[in-house]
Chains A and B, each alone.
Chain A
Amino acid sequence: MKHLVTLALALTVTASAAPVTLTYWQYDYASKVSTMNDLIKKFEAQNPDIKIKQETFPYDAYNQKVASSVPAGQGPDVVNMFYGWLPQYVDSGYLQPLPAKDFPTAAIERDFVPMIKTSKIGGKYYALPTSVRTLAVFYNKDLFKASGVLTPPRTWEDFIAASQKIVKGAPPRFTQLGFGIQPDGQDYHMLREVLVRQYGGSPYSADGKTVTYDSAAGLKAMTFYTDLYTKYKLGTPNFFPGNNSYRDAFIAGKVGMIIDGSFAVATIQKGAKFNWGVMTLPTFKGSSVRSNFGSYWVNGITKNAKGDKLAASVKFLKFLTSAETQRTWLENVGEIPAGKKLSSDATLRRDPVYGPFVASLPFAHSTLFVDEAGQRKAWVDAINTVILQGATPASAIKRAATDEQKILNEYYK
C-alpha cells in the first residue's frame, strides 16, 4: 500500500516536472548509512521533485574512490569528505564553492562552531559539516578505584600521578597501562594541537603553509609527551596487537586512561564491561590555557552539479546542515552537532559522556592537512626516534618540522 502511494506520488510528480536525481556518497558505516536513508526519505517527502541516490564505499577505499572519480568527471553531486582532504579537492577543481547567496559567510561563522573555518579556502566556504568530533580522556573508573586514584585528574601533573598508580610492569613488559600511549592513534593530534598551544605556541602559521612548532613551545610539548614513555613509563605503544591497539586494550580493561575522539564512544559503550567515564583534556598546573583538536566530515557540492542539479544540491546541503538534521544525527549516530546553538544546549553539555566533548568545542582547533597520511607519518616517525631509538626531543621536533614542511612546500609550490 505504502509503495503504491509512493508510486502514485512519483507518477504525479513526473507528470508535472521531471524530477532531479542527485547522487550522494559517503563511506560505509552502518548507523550513518541507515540514518542517512531515513533523512533522505524525509527530504524527498519535503521536496517531491528531488530524488537522492545514496552510494557508499568501504572506509579504507573511500578516499581512493572519491579521488579517482575526479579526473573522470564522474561520481556524486553531493559528497561527504574528511575535512583534511579539502585543500586537495578544492585544488583539483573537484568542488565548487558554496553559493554565497545561499550560504553567506557571516551566517556560517555565526551559526557553526569555530573550528569549521578550515573549510574556508581562499575566502570561500567549500563544504559544511553536520557534526564534529573533539578529543577527551576516557578513563576506567574501576581501575582508578582499585589503584587508589580518588579523583579524575584535572591537570597534566595529576594525570601523570594517577597513571603512575595504575601502571604495572616496566618496558618492554607491561601488564597494565596507566595511559594507553599510541603516537599513531589520536596522540599525535593531541601533541600538535593541544600541547603545543598549551605551552604558548602555535603549530602552524595562520595560512597553514608554514610549520611553526619548531619552537620552545614545540620542544616542551615533544618533551612532555615522550617523557610519558621514557621518564614516567606510563605505558607503551602497540600494547595490544591490531590496528586500534590502545582502544582495544582500554576496552579489555587493561588501561587506566586513553585519549580518543568522540567517534570512539559507540565502540567503547558496546565493548567495555566496567565503569568508565569521560573527562576533558587536562591543563597544566597554574595555567588556564585549554585547547583541543577538532575534526569533522563535511558535505560539499562537486563540479558535476550544474543547473537544476546545483539548485537541488543546495537544498539538500541546507537540509543536511540544518539544526534538525544535526539533532537526528546526534541521536542516531552519536556525533556532536556542528551548530553553535545546539552544541551549547544545556542538557547536552551536562551529558556525562558527550558533555566533555561538547565543552571542548569553543577552543578546538583543526589542522589544514594537504597530505594527511604523509603529515601523520612525519610526526609518528619523529616520536619513534625518541621512544625507540633514544633520540632527544629537540632533534625529534626538528625532524618532524623538516619532514612536514617539505610536504607543505611540495603542495604549495
Chain B
Amino acid sequence: MSITSKSAQARPPRRAAGSMKRQQTRTAYLFLGLPLLFFLIVRFLPTLMALRMSLFDWNILKEVQPFVGLENYARLAQDDRFLGALKNTALYTVIGVPAQIALGLAVALMLGRVTVLRGLYRALYFAPYVTPIVAAAWVWQWLFSPQFGPVNTFLTWLHIPPQAFLTSPSQALGTTAALIVWQNLGFQIVLFLAGLAAIPRTFYEAAEIDGATGLQAFRSITLPLLNPTMVFSVVTGTISYLQLFTQVVNLNFTDQGGPLGSTMTVALYIYQLAFGRFQMGYASAVTVVLFVIILLITVIQLKFLTRRYDV
C-alpha cells in the first residue's frame, strides 16, 4: 500500500495509472499463484507420482518395490474385472448423461411455465442434489428392496411380477444409474433455468411475429442458445460418471460393485486394489488409464460440441 502511494506521488499521473495496473496484475498473479501452488502440490504432484508408481510392482506391504516397466499395463489388458469395470463405467455414462440432460431440460422448460408455487417446485426438484449421497443410496436400497420395497408393491398393483433390482446382476446397473440421474437432476435443472433465462425474450417475440411454431422456436432459438450450458453439462456430467464411486459403494455395502461385479466402476476398482489389497502399483496403472480416457473424451467433446451462433 505504501509503495503504491509513494510511486503515485513520484510519477506523473499517466504513468501512475500504468503502474497501478501493473500493481493490480501483480496482485492478481499473487492471488492466483497460491491456489496454483496448492494445485501443484496436491493434484499434479500426486498425478506424476502415480504415473511413476504404475511402473513398479508397488505393494505397500512389501519392503522392496521392484521396477516392472509396463507390466502392470499388460496385466490390465487381461484383467476381466478391470475390463468389466470399464464396460460398466461406459454404460453408466451412456445411460446417465443423455438421460439427465433430457430430463433436466424437460423439467426446466416446464418449471419456466409454472407461476403458482414456483419456489416450492424448484426446491423439490433441487432437494435430491443436496441430500447426502450416502443417505440417498440407503433410501434407494430400501425403495427397491425385493422384499419390502414400495416400488415392487407398486409393480404388483400393475400386475407386473416383482423385480430383484439391486440384487440382480442384470438390473443392478440400471437401478444404480437411475439413482444418480435422480440425484443430479436438480443441478441440471438449475443450469438450464439459468441458461433459459439468459436468452433474450425479443428473439421469441420476433419468431412469433414471423409465425414460427413453438417447436420451431425451440429448435432454432432455444437449443442453439443453450449450447454453452449443454457443453458444460455434457463435459462435467461425463467426467462425474467416469469417476463414479460413492453411490456404487453404498448401494451394496458388503459386496461393493456387486452382485457379481455388475455395478463395479473403474474408480471403485482402483480403491479396492489400492486400499483393500494394497497393490499400489497396479492401482496406479488403472488410475493413469482412467485419467487418459477422461482427458481424451473431454478434449473430443469440447472440440465437437462447442459452436458459435451469431444471431
Take A381-B261, A388-B169 as given contacts and tell me if A67 and B61 are in contact as well, using a CB distance cutoff of 8 Å.
yes
Please tell me which one of the listed residues B138, B166, B167, B255 contacts residue A242 in the complex, with CB atoms under 8 A apart.
B138
Q: Is A236 an interface residue (CB 8 A)?
A: yes
Please tell me which one of the listed residues A64, A93, A243, A380 contacts residue B258 in the complex, with CB atoms under 8 A apart.
A380
Chain A 237-248, CB-CB to B under 8 Å as 1, else 0, gives 111111101000
Complex alpha-carbon distance, A384 and B169, angstroms? 9
Please tell me which one of the listed residues B145, B168, B169 contacts residue A241 in the complex, with CB atoms under 8 A apart.
B145
Chain B 250-265, CB-CB to A under 8 Å as 1, else 0, gives 0011110011110000
Q: Is A91 an interface residue (CB 8 A)?
A: yes
Complex alpha-carbon distance, A179 and B261, angstroms? 25
Which of chain B's residues have a CB closer than 8 A to the CB of A237? Answer: 167
Take A172-B146, A172-B147 as given contacts and tell me if A238 and B61 are in contact as well, using a CB distance cutoff of 8 Å.
no
Chain A 59-94, CB-CB to B under 8 Å as 1, else 0, gives 000001001101100000000000000001101111
Take A384-B258, A384-B259 as given contacts and tell me if A174 and B169 are in contact as well, using a CB distance cutoff of 8 Å.
no
Which of chain B's residues have a CB closer than 8 A to the CB of A236? Answer: 146-147, 167
Which of chain A's residues have a CB closer than 8 A to the CB of B253? Answer: 242-243
Which of chain B's residues have a CB closer than 8 A to the CB of A380? Answer: 255, 258
Which A residues, 368 to 403, have Cβ-Cβ distances below 8 Å to chain B?
A: 371, 373-374, 377, 380-381, 384-385, 388-389
Which A residues, 157 to 175, have Cβ-Cβ distances below 8 Å to chain B?
A: 169, 172-175
Give min CB distance, B262 to chain A, whole Å: 9
Q: Is B141 an interface residue (CB 8 A)?
A: yes
Chain B 144-169, CB-CB to A under 8 Å as 1, else 0, gives 01110000100000000011101111
Take A173-B162, A241-B138, A241-B141 as given contacts and tell me if A185 and B254 are in contact as well, using a CB distance cutoff of 8 Å.
yes
Q: Are A71 and B63 within 8 A (Cβ)?
A: yes
Q: Are B272 and A384 within 8 A (Cβ)?
A: no
Give min CB distance, A260 to chain B, whole Å: 14
Chain B 162-180, CB-CB to A under 8 Å as 1, else 0, gives 1110111100000000000
Q: Is B277 an interface residue (CB 8 A)?
A: yes
Q: How large is the interface on A (under 10, 10 to 19, 20 to 34, 35 or more residues)?
A: 35 or more
Q: Is A184 an interface residue (CB 8 A)?
A: yes
Please tell me which one of the listed residues B61, B138, B166 contacts residue A88 in the complex, with CB atoms under 8 A apart.
B61
Which of chain A's residues have a CB closer than 8 A to the CB of B132? Answer: none
Take A185-B254, A384-B259 as given contacts and tell me if A93 and B63 are in contact as well, using a CB distance cutoff of 8 Å.
yes
Q: Is B218 an interface residue (CB 8 A)?
A: no
Q: Are A70 and B60 within 8 A (Cβ)?
A: yes
Chain B 236-272, CB-CB to A under 8 Å as 1, else 0, gives 0000000000000000111100111100000000001
Q: Is B187 an interface residue (CB 8 A)?
A: no
Which of chain A's residues have a CB closer than 8 A to the CB of B252? Answer: 238
- Tell me the count of chain B residues lying within 8 A, CB to CB, of chain A: 31
Which of chain A's residues have a CB closer than 8 A to the CB of B29? Answer: none
Give min CB distance, B283 to chain A, whole Å: 13
Q: Are A388 and B147 within 8 A (Cβ)?
A: no
Which of chain A's residues have a CB closer than 8 A to the CB of B60? Answer: 67-68, 70-71
Complex alpha-carbon distance, A239 and B164, angstroms? 11
Q: Are B147 and A173 within 8 A (Cβ)?
A: yes
- Report whether over half of chain B's contact residues are helix, strand or loop; otherwise say mixed: loop
Complex alpha-carbon distance, A71 and B147, angstroms? 47
Which of chain A's residues have a CB closer than 8 A to the CB of B162? Answer: 172-173
Chain A, residue nearest B63 (CB): A93
Which of chain B's residues have a CB closer than 8 A to the CB of A64? Answer: 275
Please tell me which one of the listed residues B147, B254, B261 contacts residue A174 in the complex, with CB atoms under 8 A apart.
B147
Q: Are B62 and A91 within 8 A (Cβ)?
A: yes
Q: Are A373 and B276 within 8 A (Cβ)?
A: yes
Give min CB distance, A42 to chain B, whole Å: 34
Give min CB distance, A381 to chain B, whole Å: 6
Give min CB distance, A369 to chain B, whole Å: 12
Chain A, residue nearest B251 (CB): A241
Which of chain B's residues have a CB closer than 8 A to the CB of A93? Answer: 63
Complex alpha-carbon distance, A232 and B184, angstroms? 42
Q: Is B278 an interface residue (CB 8 A)?
A: yes
Q: Are A92 and B138 within 8 A (Cβ)?
A: no
Chain B, residue nearest A237 (CB): B167
Which of chain B's residues have a CB closer than 8 A to the CB of A389? Answer: 169, 260
**Top 5 closest A-B pairs, CB basis?**
A172-B146, A241-B141, A243-B253, A92-B61, A373-B276
26 contacts between A and B (CB under 8 A): A64-B275, A70-B61, A71-B60, A88-B278, A91-B61, A92-B62, A172-B146, A172-B162, A173-B152, A174-B147, A184-B255, A236-B147, A238-B166, A238-B167, A241-B141, A242-B141, A243-B254, A245-B254, A373-B272, A373-B276, A374-B277, A381-B260, A384-B258, A384-B259, A388-B168, A388-B260
Kindly list 8 other residue pairs between chains A and B, CB separation below 8 angstroms, not including A92-B63, A380-B255.
A70-B60, A172-B164, A173-B147, A184-B255, A373-B277, A374-B276, A381-B261, A388-B169
- A residues adjacent to B (C-beta < 8 A): 64, 67-68, 70-71, 88-89, 91-94, 169, 172-175, 182, 184-185, 236-243, 245, 371, 373-374, 377, 380-381, 384-385, 388-389
